[in-house]
Structure 1
Amino acid sequence: MFRRLRRVRFNPNIRTLVSENNIHTQDLIYPLFVTYGENIKNTIESMPDVFQLSLDNILRECETLEALGINAIMLFGIPRIKDSIGSEALSEEGIIPQAVRSIKSKFPHLLICVDLCFCEYTDHGHCGILNPKLQSVDNDLTLEILNQQALILAQSGADLIAPSGMMDGMIESLREVLDSKGFSHIPLMSYSTKFASGYYGPFRDIAQSTPAFGDRRSYQQNPANRREAILESLEDEKQGADILMVKPALAYLDIVRDIRERTLLPLAVYNVSGEYAMLKFAQKAGIIDYERVLLETMVSFKRAGADIVITYHAKEIANLLRRIL
């Protein structure tokens, strides 16, 4: 007798009962972009429904997120001044330390993740200090300023630090400094396998972080390389990362699965701006069943092995799950 697999699909309650992967609001981290000023809500054409927000509007957004059951945010800053070393990121009065302190004072139970990088803060748009001879980022000099930035963010009250620059040795360096300064309890969620991807375009619009010259291929991961991608994450695990990450998500689900099968650490994916924009513009064009495709995409991340999803869709997903459940 052949096996009748359809039996467990016929009744919708049984389908739910045997569902292997599900998306929940507690799996989600919502990115927010903080800028100076008051009552600022700048629209970005390439990122529908995502805004540059002044701190007063960030606080209003956090209130909405808590009401939706979204418990985690990731902060990105839009500085006033950019220079060759991203010095505003090294100031206790920079936009992100200010935002962390304000959010913590009003929403103490909200998990605040902070992106740790310099691309938004440098006038050249690269992720650290440039080596003029190489016309690329000086890895070890950049580690020194990453350590300074991490300490400021930890002192400001950040709950989780997410280094994204793909510098060699950054996790070990950050862990040593944080531990030595009394922040051994702060976890590091490393952008451990971050590809030099074309999917980042809308993010660079909203974060104002497009490189002034060249690209980031000398430090971000080659999209063609599977073995190297696995090695990058396993090396960060060895150095002390608490959570690993694959970025982008949708085009790299094979890498998510590869890493999942080799680590017991929590694994995040970043559902990046280009992936978000494609779905939003497909929705606008009326060519997909948007809500169905959105949930299908989220479940694909979980099925591949992700525990955490960083996504601009978080509010939509929370509202959708409320209707479904």
Structure 2
Amino acid sequence: MHFSGDDLGRVRVATRPDPLWETTLSLHRLQRGDGDLRVRKWRGAVRSRLPKAAGPLLTLVPPSGYFPDFLTPSGEDLDEQLDLLCGTERRALRRDLSMLARSRRPTPWARDLGDANPAALGALTRAVRSYHRAAIEPAWNDVLACFDRQRARQAGILLADGVEGLLRGLSPAMRWKAPVLEVDYPVPHELHLDGRGLLLIPSYFCWRTGVTLVENDHVPVLVHPIEEHVPETVHPDHGPALSALLGHTRAAVLETIEGGGRTSDVARRAGISMSSASQHATVLREAGLVLSTREGNTVRHHLTQLGSALLRKKS
């Protein structure tokens, strides 16, 4: 990926997980059997409930390698993305399916799809929705929690080290050599951003290295793995001094907030109730250790500088 000075000023991180990128990349994990422990547990559960209606989608997403660009229109809302998918132009359908045909023989249904046949497009959107309901929705809270932690970590890097620090820290499979970002990729591919900037999309189901579109017609994207998935329950490693100061549970809550997250995330990670998590977060906020901001009906928590310094001195 070739950057100009303008591109560096237009790098941004997605505000929420992308439903269709998570959907398509999860199909790689489902078919290949790779991923971390959490994804392996997810795969075992999904295989027993995979709906037959998802069949057309599986014909478009092989276990590895290329899948059509049109499967991942930009957006953060599944309904809006499916509307865009259903309205894909015939030219784009044919272009992407022709590329897929280099590695996978097209089915009669795929040929109908390439002609923008309304029935074929309808079957595709039903397949995506059916698979998403069975495979992605049950894991979505976990996806959100991991995404929030990653985004908070990237925000900290951006504040401390700037955009180039952010690009250097994406993944061991990516190397920033200004003005170029090298990404381990299965095929040679060069992308000149040409002043359009870059949208970084942290992904729960992305594995090992980054993924982009073949045809980046608008703002180019780089989907990259969330490097650290949050454990279901935090097992605190705070020292006796921190525990004596705050109490065992409140010290655990402070640790769970380190990566950022909603009150529900804090409660789940610390293994306590929502009301208890809210009460502890309030006390920590009044003590100047935590910053809380409201987003709609939810409250998101982050550590202040004082909170971070206290955790660093916990032993």
Tell whether the structures are fold-level matches, with TM greater than 0.5. Answer: no
**TM-score for both structures, normalised by structure 1:** 0.22
Taking structure 2 as the reference length, what is the TM-score of the superposition? 0.23
Task: Please say which structure displays the higher CA radius of gyration.
Answer: 2
